[in-house]
Chains A and B, each alone.
Chain A
Amino acid sequence: MSALTLYQLVALILLMAGLFGISQRRSLVGMLISVELMLNGAGLSIVAASQLTPANAMMGQLGTLFVMGLAAAEATLVLAIIVVVARRFGTTKTSVVSTLKG
């Protein structure tokens, strides 16, 4: 098994952990943590694929940097949404936060 396959399998482990977390967690913060796990798996996969193949390595590293920037932006917005939800509903449980505007 080549080194690239091993790295891809580790990235797959991260994706699976994040997917399991996001479908099983019952609070918004737990889901945010799971999303970060999945984004990390994507970054690892991109870097491994670009560093270990004849592809353009610079493009892969820059792509992962952009993924990190997007993750930071996403975490900022989710934090604000969680604060608003917690203020309005008093909790961030997903089972409670299920009413739409009406």
Chain B
Amino acid sequence: MEDMAKIAFGFYTLIILSGSLLAVGAKSLVRAMVGLIATLLGVAGMYMLLNAQFLALMQILIYVGAVCVLIFFAIMLTRADSGGEEAESAPLRQNLLALTAVLSVGGILGWLVMTRPLVTTGVPVEVAIEKLGLGLLGPYGLAFELISVVLLVSMAGAVLLAWERRNGK
């Protein structure tokens, strides 16, 4: 990697690390969501570094623009006020068990990643947006249609679940 890329990589890693710590550890859910947004922006920066600009834009558009707004709605609709549901911290035993689970999974996967290096090309490949579009319409058309059906069904299901019936109807 070039020097600038190294600096940018370190910067984004720092953003991702602190954002995910905030998202997992914050007492207030709104602060946790701010941490999630920081993490998502850091990942978008990583996509930029990986020469996938379209994905970076989509990451900001879909995650920061849509999913985070949804999570904000969830926080507001359940009236989880700032000192609310996460105010009392989890018992020590639960924290220890969670830490054990995380460290075992992370240890195994990290060991696998570190000890089995793959053949890499030094510079990320560039894929033109036209190729992505043609891929969605051509070889991956079925997956594309299935995703749209899944989105439609989940939206219809969400409306159906959250529908409030008036009394007496």
Contacts and interface: CB of A to CB of B under 8 A. Distances in A.
Contacts, number: 237
A2 B119 CA distance: 9
Nearest to B21: A17
A64 B29 CA distance: 27
B20 A37 contact: yes
Given A13-B17, A47-B52, A8 B113 contact: yes
A19 B40 CA distance: 17
Interface in B84-120: 84-86, 90, 94-95, 97-99, 101-103, 105-106, 109-110, 113-114, 117-120
B147 interface: yes
Describe B's contact surface by its main secondary structure.
Answer: helix
Interface of B: 1, 9, 13, 16-17, 20-21, 23-24, 29, 32-33, 36, 39-40, 43, 46-47, 50-52, 54-55, 58-59, 62-63, 66-67, 70-71, 73-75, 77-80, 84-86, 90, 94-95, 97-99, 101-103, 105-106, 109-110, 113-114, 117-122, 124-125, 127, 131-132, 135-136, 140, 143, 147, 150-151, 154-155, 157-159, 161-162, 164
13 contacts: A2-B120, A3-B1, A16-B102, A19-B98, A23-B97, A40-B39, A43-B43, A51-B50, A53-B118, A75-B67, A75-B70, A76-B70, A91-B85
Interface of A: 1-10, 12-21, 23-30, 32-34, 36-37, 40, 43-44, 47-49, 51-54, 57-59, 61-62, 64-66, 68-84, 86-87, 91-93
